[in-house]
């Protein structure tokens, strides 16, 4: 029996989260996706991408790397867990997209590299919010209609 699209998306959730985590290393090396300047204890010192000035910034890339790695581990655990009620196909993927979208939305307040602002939020935050609503709706539907096996 061939797996359906929901099952395929569930299987791809962990590698997708891990890939996003690893891709943030490219951001570190390129100097993009930086956090806003801070005097707090949690910071990295880096050269600004455009001005080459040395700045203390919020370590957004490292926070996103860690959170994505945790999401990958949770998705893998949910996929491989034994016992308990079987999750409906697509549930793991919907939960992953919801968590990743909310994290991306929240990280928007810590970032210093956004330039496009639409009303009270940055453009990326609006996109993350739209994804979160879609994934949350999908997750609510899948949980409410979970088959009993």
Average pLDDT over residues 26-40: 81
Average pLDDT over residues 7-34: 89
Q: Is residue 86's pLDDT more than 60?
A: yes
| Positive/negative CA dihedral, 38, 39, 42, 46 | positive
Q: How confident is the model at residue 130 (pLDDT cuts 50, 70, 90)?
A: very high
Domain count across the chain: 1
**Identity of the highest mean pLDDT range in 45-59, 89-103, 108-122:** 89-103
Q: How many CB atoms are closer than 10 A to CB 22?
A: 13
The structure tokens 């926070």 sit at 63
- pLDDT value at position 12? 96
Q: How confident is the model at residue 149 (pLDDT cuts 50, 70, 90)?
A: very low
Q: Is residue 56's pLDDT more than 50?
A: yes
149 located within any domain = no
3 versus 93: which is more confidently predicted?
93
Domain that holds residue 76: 5-144
Q: How many CB atoms are closer than 10 A to CB 130?
A: 12
- CA triple 129-145-126, angle to 5 deg: 5
pTM as predicted: 0.88
Q: Is residue 69's pLDDT more than 80?
A: yes
11 located within any domain = yes
32 located within any domain = yes
52 located within any domain = yes
- pLDDT value at position 32? 77
115 located within any domain = yes
12 located within any domain = yes
């Amino acid at each position: 029996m061939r797996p359906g699209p929901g099952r395929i998306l569930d299987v791809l959730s962990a590698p997708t989260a891990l890939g996003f985590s690893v891709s943030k290393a490219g951001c570190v090396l390129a100097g993009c996706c930086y956090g806003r300047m801070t005097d707090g204890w949690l910071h990295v010192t880096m050269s600004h991408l455009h001005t080459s000035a040395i700045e203390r910034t919020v370590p957004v890339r490292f926070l996103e790397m860690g959170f994505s790695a945790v999401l990958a581990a949770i998705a893998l655990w949910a996929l491989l867990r034994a016992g308990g009620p079987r999750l409906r196909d697509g549930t793991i993927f919907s939960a992953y997209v919801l968590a990743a979208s909310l994290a991306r939305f929240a990280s928007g307040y810590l970032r210093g590299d956004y330039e496009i602002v639409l009303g009270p939020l940055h453009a990326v935050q609006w996109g993350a919010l739209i994804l979160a609503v879609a994934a949350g709706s999908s997750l609510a539907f899948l949980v409410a209609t979970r088959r009993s096996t």
